[in-house]
Amino acid sequence: MPVGTSSAALNLASALDPADLELARSPLRVELPDDVRERVARCRRFVLGFNGTGRAIYGVTTGFGPMVEFAGRADSAAQNDNTIFHLIVGHGELLPPAVARAAVLARLFSLAQGRSGVSEEVVTSLIAMLGTEFAPAVPRLGSLGASGDLQPLAYVAHALRGNGDAFFRGQLMPAGEALDKAGLTTLRLDGRDALAVVNGTSVTSAALGLAVAQAIRARHIAELLSALLTDVLGCGQEFTSVGLLAAFGHPDVADTGASLRTWLAGSTPSGARPLQESYSIRCTPQLIGAAGTSVRHAEEVVRRDLNGVSDNPLFFPETGEVVHGGNFFGQPSAFAADQLNVALVQLGNLAERQLDLLVDPHRTNGLPPMLSPQPGQHHAIQGVQLGATATLASMRRAATPASMQSLPTNLHNQDVVPLGTQAALTALDQARLLRYLHAAVALGLRQAVHVGARRPQAPLLAEVFDRIAAEVPPIVEDRPLDTALGTIADLLDVIGSEVEGAR
């Protein structure tokens, strides 16, 4: 029996949401309803019915890519071997197990649409894998996001067949050993199985979906921290005016203003601040709201990807059609990932500037430099700011769009490619780096109150502040703060999820 159980469950007859992908980090129960099982089996029968008819079907009777003009191997098992083996050439660091497992979940939902001709055994094997702590070892580099995520998904099939490497409970080991520890049987492939597994953009969709889920939390956290900064410094709140933001004409900006007003309810300006604050306070509705628009767009795009079919060709048993086309071309997610990437970097710019404001005595009504209780003897947030600056520089350097960096390849069969996999993985990297910047701001706010800033007056903000303070004591003397930043980042994720759940 497979090792590992989970209370979380998904149903293959339901829509897959970007947030559902995060469930795959742990053992996940996926239900296969009878109607889904039947549509998969029906398509499989339809595809196998072409055996011996002489009809050319890409990847079933032909070679792959530009080799389509040549016949494929007559033996089905050998054809499946060729599909996988010629793609095991990836390199670079391995994807985190949670990302590889999310990709398996995304591929499973595509195959369950019953348009790929895959066997029921493949579907049940992917379900069984997700129910354990097994994860394929998948190199990061190798996919163009066109003709699907061929190489990374080939590594998924390779590991499930007991070849190469895999993770079990986070430990890297030979795939056969990991299968044994997880209680899984080796995956068998025939018919069109191998091509159906690899010929979709499921790694791209999974990475973008995970990035979107984190970005949604990041928007809530940015609103929270901006409100907390406003309250702790005693700033005026005119910049959150309902009428002002409605006049701007952007609904997401107005929504951010409403969120700020909710957080700030019960807080009164000190009267000691300038008439107009720096943009890192005054323009937060416009900046965070605009980022929210980009996040929402990416969420819509990836949700469509996750619930569509990425493969080629597609099979329509009800009409007797086999349709060759380009449903493996990940351009929608590539564009959305690059747009999300830019929005995440701008949220990082905001956080870094808010931290800089906090450590500057000229802009905080006289709080000590670097929020140190004994400047010179102790340095408090000084190292944190250096790390934040380096993190933001890294994010900016990674903000070059991937979605238009097309390079022709594959004997010009793939003469234009979207590189969506790289765009999506970069967006996921950016979302994770942003966690550090937000944690740095939260740590700065916690320390600011310790060295003389007022405690937040708004009840909701005071509650959040107390949760942060309970996790991280004030900096009285210099000490390592890396663990504290990780703790705060995790706490902010929890708070961001709570806010999203309450919407």
Burial of 479 (C-beta count, 10 Å sphere; 0-12/13-18/19+): exposed
d(CA 222, CA 284): 9
The secondary structure element, H or E, covering residue 395 is: helix 382-397
Structure tokens given for 422? 């790289």
Is residue 58 part of the annotated active site? The answer reads: yes
DSSP string of 335-373?
Answer: HHHHHHHHHHHHHHHHHHHHHHHHH-GGGTTSPPGGG-S
- Estimate the crossing angle of helix 202-233 against helix 97-111, to 10 degrees: 120
- What count of other Cβ atoms lies within 10 Å of the Cβ of residue 470? 9
d(CA 116, CA 72): 18
Per the residue annotation, which of 58, 155, 279, 436 is the catalytic one?
Answer: 58
Length of the chain: 503
Task: Determine the residue type at 290.
Answer: A
Alpha helices in 183-328 (DSSP H): 193-198, 202-233, 242-248, 251-264, 279-282, 284-306
Backbone angles phi, psi at 74, to 5 degrees: -70, -30
- Residues 178, 156 contacting (CB under 8 angstroms): no
If DSSP codes are grouped into helix, strand and coil, which group holds residue 161? Answer: coil
d(CA 153, CA 49): 26
Strand partners, 174: 165
Backbone angles phi, psi at 170, to 5 degrees: 80, -5
Catalytic residues: 58
